[in-house]
Amino acid sequence: MARILVIDDDELVRGTVQAILATAGHDIMLASNGEQGLTELERAAFDLVIMDVFMPQKEGLETIRDMRRQGMETAVIVMTGGPTQRADGGRRAGVNYLQMARAFGANGTIQKPFTRQQLLAVVDECLAGPAPPPAA
């Protein structure tokens, strides 16, 4: 059993991830944005953090960056329901957000929507492996 923090601004996603992981025997804590997530990480130890890329107040990539700068080596899985990259001329055109999450120090990624089996597989993989070194 692992202690897992789920950070997502979508209440339905948080609840779904919590239900899947709780039935697998994990202890789950929830946060609705990166700021709340960092506060929870400062209060308690977690084995794994699962977070969305796009959130208000502090996005997932910013949260990973701040975690690693603070020396937090907790394993991180990043998920997104949006496009993995924007090619529409947006401010981050051509950026693959899941690849960028790995560059920021994420241990795993998953695209929404995902199945129960897909989520549990990436969770098991990340819990079994070492955390990456903190990003510079």
- Ranges of each domain in the chain: 3-128
CATH number (3.30.420.40, 3.40.50.970, 3.40.50.2300, 3.40.50.740) of 3-128 reads 3.40.50.2300
74-128 per-position pLDDT tens digit: 999 999 986 655 555 555 556 788 889 999 999 999 999 999 999 999 999 999 9
- Using alpha carbons, select from 86, 118, 122 the residue that is nearest to residue 107: 122
Write down the pLDDT at residue 40: 98
- Using alpha carbons, select from 39, 38, 40, 36 the residue that is nearest to residue 27: 40
First-to-final CA distance of the chain: 31
**What is the average per-residue pLDDT within 36-51?**
97
In the numeric block, which tokens belong to residue 25? Answer: 């025997």
pTM: 0.87
Q: What are phi and psi of 13, to 5 degrees?
A: -65, -45
Beta bridge partners of 3: 27
